[in-house]
Amino acid sequence: MLAIFQKQVAHAPQELNSPRSGAAKPKNPDQILRDFHAAHPEDAFSTSFGGGAALACVAAQPRSLSGYQRMFCGLDDIYCVFMGTLNNLSSLMRQYGLTGRSTNEALLVIEAYRTLRDRGPYPADQVVKDLSGSFAFVVFDSRRSGAVFAARSTDGGVPLHWGVAADGSVVICDDRAAVKAGCGKSHAPFPAGCMFHSEGGLKSFEHPMNRIKAMPRVDSEGVMCGANFRVDAFTKINSMPRVGSATNWAATWDDAAI
């Protein structure tokens, strides 16, 4: 899986940027996308959006080969790349009124996102926390808001990495080598138990009352290399905003975001 969002769509946390030194120079998004296709010449596909976004995925493989299932779906101009599995898919389908339909994990995530976007009955962290399983996903809303929404399950069972391309674009991928090659030193693991929104930044859905802090990373050569993002057990958010049916759910992200 590969997702690229230019700066007009999403901004990576500032701490993810590292000084450019040595031979590891970041690449432009077009080159990163070409490299992804070159690495998977027979089973990779992608779609690009005029607003400065691109999503790519490798065709579904037996779980014994990849370790987790991959899905790519689009519905009403909302697109989702999903990796992993939801253990409570059936109960979530009933919760979102999807019984009787052919629904997989990616379509369920799209429905959950659309419910948050349009009605916002719960804080976003609670909705993501209701997803039980081992997963990572990226959602792109191409029509209504041009928003990016990504999350990784608390167990960290599905790999997910992100970085910053040469032009400042956010790059998200399950292949660490691809992110490292495309982003140079400006890359890091996407933190488990966290979610990222293009308007609100990075936040823990497991511990929403705690702030996220960035811990500097140093590679084997002693060079600064991105940052690890962790929940800060010692700092708390003073209050959480109330969320009503008329509230834009994205606004429930507060100044705790990085």
pLDDT, tens digit (0-9, with 9 covering 90-100), for 115-141: 888 876 568 898 999 999 999 999 999
In a domain, 176, yes or no: yes
Q: Is the pLDDT of residue 230 over 80?
A: yes
> How many other CB atoms are there within 10 angstroms of residue 224's CB atom?
15
Q: Which segment of 46-50, 141-145, 207-211, 220-224 scores lowest on mean pLDDT? A: 220-224
Q: Both tokens of residue 75?
A: 């519905």
Q: What is the mean pLDDT of the chain?
A: 86
Letter for the amino acid at 9? V
Q: What is the pLDDT of residue 175?
A: 94
- Provide the CATH number for the domain around residue 76: 3.60.20.10
182: left (phi over 0), alpha (psi -120 to 50) or beta: alpha
Q: What is the pLDDT of residue 202?
A: 95
Residues 112 and 116: their CA atoms lie apart, in Å, by: 6
DSSP H helices, 60-157, are: 63-66, 89-95, 105-118, 124-129
In a domain, 258, yes or no: no
In a domain, 257, yes or no: no
pLDDT, tens digit (0-9, with 9 covering 90-100), for 71-103: 999 999 999 999 999 999 999 999 998 987 788
In a domain, 30, yes or no: yes
Indicate the number of domains in the chain. 1
Residue 121, domain extent: 2-252
